C-alpha cells in the first residue's frame, strides 16, 4: 500500500467487496431494518467510488471503512434463528438509546456486533482515548439498563456481545460481570498498558520511549498534553495503585502496571528545572474532564498543578514565552505549511492543536498519545516529544467500585 496504484487497487477491491455484501443482504430482504443496513452499505460504496474517481483516496479511508462491521453483522445473522430485526433502535427515557445489531429468537436475544481490533477496545476501556469517546464497557451498561425496559414474553432479553476479531480476556470478564454473554476468541490483554501500539503497528513493537525525541530532557520548556496532566493528577499515580481491587479487571490491571512502572516519578524528574506551559485548548479540556470524572483529591491535585502552568492561546509563538532560546531539536522538524498533517484516525483536531502549540513555542510536548506521534511520523512530521505511559483518572471508580486489598502484585 505504498504507491498510488496500490491504493487505487485496494479501493476498487473494497468496492467489489461492498457490492458482494449488498448482494448477501437480499437473503434477508423481508427482515425489519434490512433496508436501513442496505442504505448504509450503498452510501459506503458510493463514497468509495467517489474517492476512486477523484483519486482523493487515503490510507485512512481503507482503515476506517464500515464494511468490516457490516460483514460481521451478516456473518452473525447467518448463524442466528427466528430473526426479528437488524439495526433496531431502542429508545430509553432514563438511559442512553441503544442500537441492537440483531434482534433474534423472537425478541429474546439482543446481539451487539463488535468488529474493532481487540487491543484498541482494551485501550479505550482503560481510558486511553479522547474525552467523550465511549468504551465497550460503557455500552455494556447501556444495553443492560435498556434491555430491562423492553421485556419479551415476560422475560428480559438476553444481551450478547459478539466480537468478530476477538476480545481481551480481562475486558471480556468485565463485560460478563454485567450479565452479558460474550462471544468471540479470547486473547491476552495484560500487556496493553506496557507499550502503546496503533492497530496498524502491531508487528513493529515500538515502545513509547523509542518514539521520544532524543535528548528531549535538555529542552527547558514543557508543553503539557491533556494526557500528561491527567496522568500526573490521577489517584492511581499518587499512591492508590496497590490499595484497591476492582470488580472490573481492566482497572485492576491498570493499577498493576502503575505498581510495576510508576509514572509520576518519571514526570516529576522530567519537569524539574523546567517551565511548564499548556495551550488554551488543553487547559479547557483538562478542566472539563476533571470536573466530569475527577475525584475530590484528583481535583485538588489538578488545581495545584495548574498553579505552576502558564496557559497561552493556541496560536502563541516562541515570543510569547519567557525563554526565546531554541534548540537543535527544532531545526529540522518544525511544523510548516509544506508539512501539512491530515486529520483522521489517530490525528484529531484537538491533539493537533496541542502538539502544534508545543512546536511553535519551542517546547517539548509531554504526552501519552503515542498513536498521534506515530501517525504524524508516518506523514513525515516528527514532533519534539517526551512520551510516558497512559494513566486515567481513577478516584471516582475507586470510591464506587473498589475494595481495599493488601497488594496487587
- The CATH number of residue 228's host domain is 3.40.50.1010
Q: Domain boundary at 21, 43, 65, which?
A: 65
pLDDT at 389: 87
**Residue 1 lies in domain:** 1-65
Does the predicted model carry a pTM greater than 0.85? no
Q: How many domains does the chain have?
A: 3
Torsion angles phi and psi, residue 41, rounded to 5: -65, -45
Residues 128 and 188 in one domain: yes
pLDDT at 261: 85
Determine, yes or no, domain membership for 311.
yes
pLDDT at 12: 84
Determine, yes or no, domain membership for 114.
yes
Partners of residue 159 on adjacent β-strands: 110
pLDDT at 399: 74
Which grid coordinates are listed for 88? 433496531
Q: Domain boundary at 144, 162, 192, which?
A: 192
Determine, yes or no, domain membership for 405.
no
Residues 360 and 380 in one domain: yes
Determine, yes or no, domain membership for 402.
no
Asked if 383 and 366 touch (Cβ cutoff 8 Å), the reply is: no
Determine, yes or no, domain membership for 310.
yes
Residues 215 and 346 in one domain: yes
Residues 213 and 117 in one domain: no
Beta-sheet strands, E only, within 174-237: 181-183, 186-187, 221-224
Sign of CA dihedral 243, 247, 250, 253: positive
Residues 91 and 185 in one domain: yes
Query: How far is it, in rounded angstroms, from Cα 23 to Cα 20?
Result: 5
Q: Say which DSSP state 183 is in.
A: E
Residues 381 and 253 in one domain: yes
Residues 265 and 373 in one domain: yes
Asked if 222 and 271 touch (Cβ cutoff 8 Å), the reply is: yes
Determine, yes or no, domain membership for 403.
no
pLDDT at 151: 93
Asked if 82 and 129 touch (Cβ cutoff 8 Å), the reply is: no
- Write out the chain's pLDDT in tens, 409 residues: 446 667 778 878 888 988 999 999 999 988 999 999 999 999 989 988 888 777 776 666 566 568 889 999 999 999 999 999 999 999 877 667 899 999 999 999 999 999 988 877 866 665 545 444 567 888 888 899 999 999 998 899 999 999 999 988 777 877 887 889 999 998 865 433 433 333 333 333 334 556 788 888 889 999 999 999 999 999 989 988 777 666 656 667 677 778 888 999 999 999 999 999 999 999 999 998 888 788 899 999 999 999 999 999 999 988 888 876 666 666 655 555 566 788 877 788 888 999 999 988 999 999 988 888 888 888 888 899 999 988 888 887 777 654 444 444 4
pLDDT at 204: 36
Residues 268 and 288 in one domain: yes
Determine, yes or no, domain membership for 389.
yes
Sign of CA dihedral 132, 135, 136, 139: negative
Determine, yes or no, domain membership for 312.
yes
Residues 333 and 315 in one domain: yes
Residues 6+ apart with CB under 8 A from 27: none
Residues 228 and 307 in one domain: yes
> What's the CATH number where 142 sits?
3.40.1350.10
Residues 188 and 290 in one domain: no
pLDDT at 79: 95
pLDDT at 408: 43
Q: Domain boundary at 38, 65, 92, which?
A: 65
Residues 218 and 188 in one domain: no
Rg (CA), the chain: 23
pLDDT at 202: 33
Partners of residue 347 on adjacent β-strands: 344
Amino acid at each position: 500500500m505504498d504507491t498510488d496504484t496500490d491504493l487505487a487497487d485496494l479501493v476498487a477491491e473494497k468496492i467489489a467487496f461492498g457490492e458482494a455484501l449488498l448482494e448477501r443482504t437480499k437473503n434477508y430482504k423481508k427482515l425489519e431494518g434490512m433496508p436501513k443496513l442496505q442504505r448504509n452499505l450503498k452510501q459506503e460504496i458510493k463514497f468509495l467510488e467517489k474517492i476512486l474517481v477523484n483519486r482523493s483516496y487515503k490510507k485512512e479511508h481503507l482503515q476506517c471503512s464500515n464494511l468490516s462491521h457490516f460483514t460481521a453483522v451478516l456473518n452473525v445473522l447467518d448463524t442466528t434463528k427466528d430473526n426479528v430485526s437488524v439495526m433496531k433502535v431502542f429508545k430509553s427515557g432514563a438511559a442512553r438509546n441503544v442500537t441492537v445489531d440483531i434482534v433474534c429468537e423472537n425478541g429474546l436475544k439482543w446481539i451487539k456486533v463488535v468488529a474493532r481490533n481487540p487491543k484498541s477496545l482494551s485501550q479505550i476501556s482503560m481510558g486511553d482515548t479522547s474525552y467523550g469517546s465511549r468504551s465497550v464497557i460503557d455500552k455494556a451498561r447501556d444495553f443492560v439498563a435498556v434491555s430491562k425496559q423492553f421485556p419479551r414474553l415476560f422475560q428480559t432479553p438476553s444481551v450478547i456481545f459478539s466480537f468478530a476479531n476477538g476480545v481481551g480476556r480481562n475486558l471480556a470478564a468485565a463485560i460478563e460481570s454485567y450479565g452479558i454473554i460474550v462471544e468471540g476468541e479470547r486473547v491476552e490483554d495484560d500487556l496493553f498498558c506496557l507499550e502503546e501500539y496503533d492497530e496498524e503497528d502491531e508487528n513493529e513493537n515500538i515502545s513509547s520511549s523509542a518514539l521520544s525525541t532524543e535528548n528531549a530532557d535538555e529542552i527547558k520548556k514543557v508543553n503539557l498534553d491533556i494526557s500528561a496532566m491527567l496522568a500526573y493528577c490521577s489517584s492511581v499515580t499518587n499512591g492508590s495503585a496497590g490499595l484497591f481491587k476492582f470488580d472490573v479487571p481492566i482497572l485492576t490491571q491498570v493499577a498493576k502496571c502503575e505498581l510495576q512502572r510508576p509514572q509520576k516519578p518519571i514526570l516529576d524528574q522530567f519537569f524539574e528545572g523546567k517551565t511548564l506551559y499548556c495551550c488554551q485548548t488543553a487547559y479547557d479540556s483538562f478542566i472539563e474532564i476533571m470536573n466530569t470524572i475527577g475525584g475530590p483529591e484528583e481535583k485538588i491535585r489538578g488545581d495545584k498543578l495548574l498553579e505552576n502552568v502558564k496557559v497561552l492561546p493556541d496560536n502563541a509563538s516562541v515570543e510569547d514565552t519567557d525563554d526565546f532560546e531554541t534548540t537543535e531539536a527544532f531545526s529540522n522538524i518544525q511544523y510548516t505549511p509544506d508539512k501539512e498533517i491530515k486529520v483522521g484516525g489517530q490525528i484529531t483536531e484537538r491533539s493537533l492543536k496541542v502538539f502544534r502549540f508545543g512546536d511553535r513555542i519551542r517546547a517539548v510536548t509531554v504526552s501519552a498519545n503515542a498513536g498521534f506521534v506515530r501517525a504524524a511520523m508516518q506523514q513525515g512530521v516528527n514532533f519534539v516529544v517526551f512520551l510516558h505511559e497512559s494513566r486515567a483518572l481513577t478516584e471516582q471508580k475507586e470510591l464506587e467500585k473498589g475494595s481495599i486489598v493488601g497488594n496487587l502484585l
